[in-house]
Amino acid sequence: MLRLPGLIDPHVHLREPGATHKEDFDSGTTAALVGGFTMVMVMPNTQPPLVDSPSLALAYDAAKAKARCDYGIYLGASTDNASTAAVLAPKVSGLKMYLDQTYGPLHLDGLDAIQTHFANWPFDRPLVAHAEGKSLATVLLLAAQNARPVHICHVSRKEEIILIRKAKEKGVPVTCEVTPHHLFLTEDDLPRIGAGRGEVRPPLASTADREALWANLEVIDCFATDHAPHTLAENDGQTPPPGFPGLETALGLLLTAVHQGRLTIDELVSRMYTNPQRIFGLPKQDETMIEVDPDAAWEVHSNELHTRCGWTPFEGIQLRGRVRRVTLRGELAYEDGEIHVPPGFGVNVAPIAQ
């Protein structure tokens, strides 16, 4: 049995408030524990989006009652909340800027709004961005000009990881994350997954893109699932929303890569624990660890997963390495298929917790 620290996922969507038929703090944090994550950072593109005190209160109340693992919550950047955001900063775990169109209404249009958030958001609190292609170039320039750290979400393309590599070489204070689906899937998997279920932002890319991510592993600071559940009915319907569930398959995929000699355990731990903890200034979790059977062979089946969405793009895939036991703050939280901590066990890791 392999003992690892409790993993941290800096990018998950738990859909509360507003879309608990897709996921909620209970089902989502259960999936997190089963996947070996003891801390998740929750995204603000909910209904309503988390952009002010009243909307944040909805998420905090739900999380406090239902979360089984520890969590942080991001505030969403809107066109007109830059001054409120600065005031709310100590009560949240970071500010999320959406520079490109994706799921939900949060979208920061125009250079002026982006610059205002860069200027107002406290220097020492995490600033994260969905910024693809030219948006990425914008964010990197602003990070350099303001000399302030910025974290780039779900980097997926060759030209993007190379741009980040060059920015880092020039001393720009940028960090980034890559998802397991962009490391293990490409557009060639779309026929197997199905067109509706294959919708995701950024989209599945080419083999050259995927290989560039692996070739630039040293540029990748974190692995983040971007766990983004939508139901089967939604994905198989007329207007499939983008997003993959990922909490319960991430570690198995990455341990399989370890098994294949493409990744070391140390590289995995730095990207799923040490780096996210440092980049997001997260507290240490006392008496917390996961125990993993690195040799356990298993096959992904959606009916065995705990996410409410009911499907996975990795259906039928064979993995090597599985979580056996999770201990969170001294409590046995999960063992061999069973959750042992109740809803409400999770704590908010924001500096001023609600």
Residues binding ligand NCD: number (CB under 6 A): 12
Helices (H) and strands (E) in the chain, counts: 13, 13
Long-range pairs, 189-198, Cβ under 8 A, ≥24: 189/313, 193/313, 194/235, 194/236, 195/240, 196/235, 196/236, 196/237, 196/240, 197/232, 197/235, 197/236, 197/240, 197/311, 197/313, 198/313
- Closest distance between ligand NCD and the C-beta of residue 212, in Å? 20
Tell which positions 116-145 bind ligand NCD, by CB under 6 A.
130
Chain positions 64 to 123 lying near Zn ion, rule: CB under 5 A, are 102
9 contributes a contact to Zn ion by CB under 5 A: no
The candidate with the shortest Cα–Cα distance to 100, out of 141, 138, 130, 136, is 130
Question: Concatenated DSSP letters for 79-103?
Answer: TT-HHHHHHHGGGSSEEEEE-S--S
Q: Are the beta carbons of 78 and 96 closer than 8 angstroms? A: no
Of 242 and 351, the one with the shorter C-beta distance to ligand NCD is 242
Please state whether 190 falls in left (phi above 0), alpha (psi between -120 and 50) or beta: alpha
Q: Is 7 exposed, middle or buried (0-12, 13-18, 19+ CB in 10 A)?
A: buried
Quick one: 24 or 320, whose CB is closer to ligand NCD?
24
Binding residues among 297-316 for Zn ion as defined by CB under 5 A: 299
How far apart (Å, rounded) are the C-alpha atoms in residues 271 and 273? 6
Q: Which is nearer to Zn ion, 160 or 226 (CB)?
A: 226
351 near ligand NCD, rule: CB under 6 A: no
Cβ proximity to ligand NCD, 177 vs 285, nearer residue = 177
Give min distance, CB of 248 to ligand NCD, in A: 17
Distance CA 270, CA 59 (A): 29
Instruction: Pick one of 131, 152, 200, 251: the residue that binds ligand NCD (CB under 6 A).
Output: 200
- Using CB under 6 A as the binding rule, whether residue 68 contacts ligand NCD is answered as no
Residue with CB nearest ligand NCD?
Answer: 243
* Positions 16 through 55 that interact with ligand NCD (CB under 6 A): 45
Taking the complex as a whole, the smallest distance from the CB of residue 96 to ligand NCD amounts, in Å, to: 9
Give the shortest CB-293-to-ligand NCD separation in angstroms.
30
Residues in 235-264 at the binding interface with ligand NCD, rule: CB under 6 A: 242-243
Residue 197 makes contact with Zn ion by CB under 5 A: no
299 binds, among ligand NCD, Zn ion, none (CB under 5 to 8 A by kind): Zn ion
- Which span sits near Zn ion by CB under 5 A: 113-121, 211-219, 221-229, 279-287? 221-229
**Residue nearest Zn ion (C-beta atom):** 130
- Cβ neighbors of 268 (< 8 A, separation 6 or more) are 223, 254, 255, 258
The yes or no reply on residue 226 touching Zn ion (CB under 5 A) is yes
Residue 205 within binding range of ligand NCD, rule CB under 6 A:
no
Please report whether residue 130 would count as binding Zn ion according to CB under 5 A.
yes
Q: Which of these ranges, 101-109, 143-151, 250-258, 292-300, lies near ligand NCD under the rule CB under 6 A?
A: 101-109
Contact between 329 and 288 under an 8 Å Cβ cutoff? The reply is yes
Among 9, 226, 234, 248, binds ligand NCD (CB under 6 A): 226
- The SS3 assignment for 151 reads strand
Residues that bind Zn ion (CB under 5 A): 102, 130, 226, 299
Residues that bind ligand NCD (CB under 6 A): 13, 45, 102-104, 130, 200-201, 226, 228, 242-243
